[in-house]
């Protein structure tokens, strides 16, 4: 590659996206959470909700708002503090003449995202600020996070993603008097500046071809024109849906999922030997050697476990996509481990909840956990300059969305 291209790539990488966008989003979430706190406090102080039909039955009423600047770890934020006609409203979360709020966003959003109950959050706020806040008020505030979720789910996305990983997490959810399983499909993208992004989450009861089609169509409607590589589970209809919506995407079926499915019916005493033999297949340096290793596996195990070799051969084209790429790219696309790691964090935050009361509760728990995870994505993918050059050599500058 000539020096001009390398220089232009360095300039492109120098303009790589920082965590500024995420910080601005979190600052806005913080501001709106504070405004909701104040609104809830005023409603509790007056005894009725805003625009309530019976408001004229109460002696006190709202009397406009006063602007106030507060400070948090995201910098200065201007808010509007509601006033009442009698002048008796004294907000507890932002006391008069106090302009510095420390860690309140963690107690409104982060603590809830970590699985704490409203009672626990109430206790933390009281310990930190020395103020009383009812469970009803906290529940009221956390319920309103659904507005942010809807905005987040419909936000615009990048035009090009080098890799998109997709996998699901299953929750027990109460519906119509029963507890049923519902899956939340999560998508993470790697943009052409090397940063990971949470692309979205989609809740469903039955994962089907039509569901996958709706997920991928949603990504496209939000501005995604090109996905170079997808890494997914081998669920029925999933890879076909990808080909229909993003026909030029290279699809890699997750090796780890394939391995788990292969070992599902292997007797305990054979599992280690079978796993080691299959490891030689996906650890091979190229596809031809991998095919030879699969043939050797079948020669030894086909009589006892005929379905394993058959499954690998049926899915061979999608299982071996990663062999088309250099080692740096192979190691990030052959499995959906990135989503598996996210799912473990979500489980950690929701481990006290054996089942969730409704779909809204599921979305709130997952969304806030995803926000906690994405806070850590402040650096580009390791070895990104090398990987970017490799993507350009394989797909070309235009498909990679690189203008030089």
Give residues with Cβ within 8 angstroms of 279, minimum separation 6: none
Inter-residue contact 78 to 35 (CB < 8 Å): no
pTM of the predicted model over 0.75:
no
* Torsion, CA 214, CA 217, CA 222, CA 225, rounded to 10: 160
Among candidate residues 356, 292, 379, the one with its CA nearest the CA of residue 16: 379
* CB neighbours of residue 294 within 10 Å: 23
pLDDT, residue 63, reads 87
Residues 318 and 236: their CA atoms lie apart, in Å, by: 13
Q: What is the DSSP letter of 258?
A: H
β-bridge mates for residue 175, sequence order: 178
Please tell me the predicted confidence (pLDDT) of residue 88. 86
- pLDDT score, position 22: 58
Contacts of 166 (CB under 8 A, 6+ apart): 185, 186, 187, 188, 215, 230, 231, 232, 233, 238, 336, 339
Assess contact for 246 and 216: CB atoms under 8 A.
yes
Q: Quote the DSSP letter at residue 110.
A: I
E strand or H helix at 315: none
Q: Please name the residue ranges forming H helices in 320-383.
A: 327-333, 337-350, 359-374
Tokens 């809740």, located at residue:
203
Q: Between helices 145-153 and 359-374, what is the axis angle to 10°?
A: 70
Question: Would you state the pLDDT for residue 111?
Answer: 67
Q: What gap in Å lies between CA 356 and CA 361, rounded to an integer? A: 6
The DSSP code for 104 is H
Output the tens digit of pLDDT for each of the chain's 404 residues: 556 555 655 655 555 445 455 567 667 777 777 787 888 888 888 888 887 777 777 888 888 888 888 766 666 788 888 888 888 888 876 665 444 344 554 555 566 666 666 677 777 666 665 556 666 666 666 676 788 889 999 999 999 999 999 999 999 998 888 999 999 999 999 999 999 999 999 998 777 788 899 999 999 999 999 999 999 988 778 888 999 999 999 999 999 999 999 999 899 999 999 999 999 999 999 999 999 999 999 999 999 999 999 999 999 999 999 999 999 999 999 999 999 899 998 888 777 667 788 888 889 889 988 988 898 899 999 999 999 999 999 999 999 998 86
In whole angstroms, what is the distance from residue 19 CA to residue 375 CA? Answer: 8
- Residue 264 has, within 13 A of its CA and on its CB side, a CA count of 9
Spatial contact of 380 and 194, defined as CB atoms under 8 Å apart: yes
* Spatial separation of the C-alpha atoms in residues 83 and 67, rounded to whole Å: 11
Q: CA–CA distance from 150 to each of 29, 210, 226, 230, 358 (Å)?
A: 13, 22, 24, 25, 16
Kind of pairing between the strands at 196-204 and 178-191: antiparallel
């Amino acid at each position: 590659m000539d020096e001009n291209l390398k220089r232009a790539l360095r300039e492109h990488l120098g303009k790589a996206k920082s965590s500024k966008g995420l910080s601005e989003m979190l600052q806005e979430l913080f501001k709106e959470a504070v405004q909701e706190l104040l609104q809830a406090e005023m409603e509790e102080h007056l005894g009725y909700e805003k625009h309530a039909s019976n408001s004229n039955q109460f002696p006190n009423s709202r009397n406009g708002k006063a602007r106030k600047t507060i400070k948090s770890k995201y910098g200065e934020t201007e808010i509007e503090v509601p006033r009442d006609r009698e002048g008796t409203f004294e907000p507890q979360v932002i006391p008069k003449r106090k302009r510095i709020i420390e860690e309140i966003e963690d107690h409104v959003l982060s603590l809830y995202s970590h699985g704490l109950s409203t009672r626990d959050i109430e206790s933390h706020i009281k310990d930190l600020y020395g103020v009383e806040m009812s469970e009803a008020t906290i529940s009221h505030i956390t319920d309103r996070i659904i507005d942010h979720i809807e905005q987040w789910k419909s936000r615009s996305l990048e035009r090009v993603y080098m890799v998109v990983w997709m996998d699901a997490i299953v929750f027990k959810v109460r519906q119509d008097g029963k507890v049923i399983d519902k899956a939340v499909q999560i998508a993470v993208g790697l943009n052409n500046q090397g940063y990971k992004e949470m692309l979205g989450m989609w809740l469903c009861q039955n994962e089907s071809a039509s569901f996958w089609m709706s997920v991928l169509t949603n990504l496209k409607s939000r501005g995604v024109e090109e996905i170079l590589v997808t890494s997914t589970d081998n669920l029925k209809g999933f890879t076909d849906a990808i080909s229909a919506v993003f026909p030029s995407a290279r699809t890699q079926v997750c090796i780890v999922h394939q391995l788990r499915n292969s070992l599902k019916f292997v007797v305990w005493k054979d599992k280690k030997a079978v796993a080691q033999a299959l490891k030689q297949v996906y650890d091979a340096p190229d596809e031809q050697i991998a095919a030879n290793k699969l043939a050797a596996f079948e020669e030894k195990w086909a009589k006892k476990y005929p379905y394993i070799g058959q499954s690998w051969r049926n899915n061979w084209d999608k299982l071996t996509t990663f062999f088309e790429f250099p080692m740096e790219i192979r190691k990030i696309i052959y499995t959906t481990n990135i989503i598996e790691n996210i799912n473990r964090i979500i489980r950690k935050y929701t481990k006290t909840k054996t089942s969730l009361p409704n779909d809204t509760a599921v979305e709130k728990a997952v969304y806030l956990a995803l926000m906690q995870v994405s806070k850590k994505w402040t650096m580009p993918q390791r070895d990104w300059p090398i990987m970017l050059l490799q993507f350009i050599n394989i797909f070309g500058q235009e498909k990679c969305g690189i203008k030089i």
